[in-house]
Amino acid sequence: KQEVTQIPAALSVPEGENLVLNCSFTDSAIYNLQWFRQDPGKGLTSLLLIQSSQREQTSGRLNASLDKSSGRSTLYIAASQPGDSATYLCAVGRRGAGSYQLTFGKGTKLSVIP
Amino acid sequence: DGGITQSPKYLFRKEGQNVTLSCEQNLNHDAMYWYRQDPGQGLRLIYYSQIVNDFQKGDIAEGYSVSREKKESFPLTVTSAQKNPTAFYLCASTPRQGAGETQYFGPGTRLLVL
């Protein structure tokens, strides 16, 4: 059974700092990996999707990397802003019998201090 | 304005009562999903549907039921058999079944037990 772990569980940084969020998974036979953002009491917003054949994806100040063989992904946030404060969730995707499912980590709660 | 709507935002359940959570999407997506989120936890899959009139159990289906009579609607019923229903419920959809695409999420329904 796939297990997804995110470290740290919470992180507080001053505004402007670059930071890295970590995600690890136990089964390397993944289809893809997605990073989401969740604001308090809200639904999830997709940030980046990395296919299993890719090494990284970039969107603005966000860069996600994937090392499938070692079961790791990182989300790099450059020049952090208070508006980046949220919980970031990593989810590993698997395909089988025409279906696609995600297994989620518990998230990293990020606070960016002005 | 395309998206996923969930209603109500808050729902209160009495002992022994069945309650139904609504999820509607106007994105013309084939696949729809229901997740449960407990405090400090990742999302866990309850049920998913890849096409109309078809649905599959996820990891924690016991005490829940769903229907998919229309492409745009995927209601979730929390039955009296679900002994610990207090949680945040999230509905999601993807354009095509089994394609491993980004999941789009609704704003969620918070279910509380009286």
> Chain B: nearest CA to A58, how far in angstroms?
15
Give the model's pLDDT for residue A6.
97
In terms of CA atoms, which chain B residue is nearest residue A30? Answer: B100
What pLDDT, in 10s, does the model give residues B58-97?
A: 999 999 999 999 999 999 999 998 889 999 999 999 988 7
pLDDT band at B1 (very low <50, low <70, confident <90, very high): low
Q: Tell me the DSSP string of A14-56.
A: ETT--EEEEEEES----SEEEEEEE-TTS-EEEEEEEETT-SE
What pLDDT, in 10s, does the model give residues B8-63?
A: 999 998 888 999 999 999 999 999 999 999 988 889 999 999 999 999 999 999 99
Chain A residues whose CB is inside 8 A of the B97 CB are: 98-100
Residue B48 contacts A where some CB pair is shorter than 8 Å:
yes
What pLDDT, in 10s, does the model give residues A53-110?
A: 999 999 999 999 999 999 999 999 999 999 999 999 999 999 877 788 899 999 999 9
In terms of CA atoms, which chain B residue is nearest residue A106? Answer: B42
Residue B8 contacts A where some CB pair is shorter than 8 Å:
no
Q: State the Cα–Cα distance between residues B73 and B55, nearest whole angstrom.
A: 12
Characterize the bridge pairing of strands A10-14 and A108-113.
Answer: parallel
Per-residue 3-state assignment (H helix, E strand, C coil) for chain B: CCCEEEECCEEEECCCCCEEEEEEECCCCCEEEEEEECCCCCEEEEEEECCCCCCEECCCCCCEEECCCECCECCEEECCCCCCCCEEEEEEEECCCCCCCCCEECCCEEEEEC
Residue A69 contacts B where some CB pair is shorter than 8 Å:
no
* A-B contacts at Cβ under 8 angstroms: 68
Query: Which amino acid does the sequence have at A68?
Result: K
In terms of CA atoms, which chain B residue is nearest residue A49? Answer: B102
Q: Quick check: B107 and A44 CB within 8 A?
A: no
Give the CA distances from residue B32 to residues A26, A35, A50, B35, B42, in Å, rounded to whole numbers and listed in that order: 26, 19, 21, 10, 18
Q: State the Cα–Cα distance between residues B35 and B105, nearest whole angstrom.
A: 10
Residues with Cβ within 8 Å of A112's Cβ and at least 6 positions away in sequence, in order, are A12, A13, A14, A15, A17, A80, A81, A82, A83, A84, A85
Instruction: List the one residue out of B106, B101, B99 whose CA is nearest residue B76.
Output: B106
Chain B residues whose CB is inside 8 A of the A46 CB are: 102-104
Q: State the Cα–Cα distance between residues B108 and B15, nearest whole angstrom.
A: 22
Instruction: List the one residue out of B58, B29, B44 whose CA is nearest residue B90.
Output: B44
Q: State the Cα–Cα distance between residues A62 and B92, nearest whole angstrom.
A: 23
pLDDT band at A51 (very low <50, low <70, confident <90, very high): very high
Chain A residues whose CB is inside 8 A of the B90 CB are: 43-44
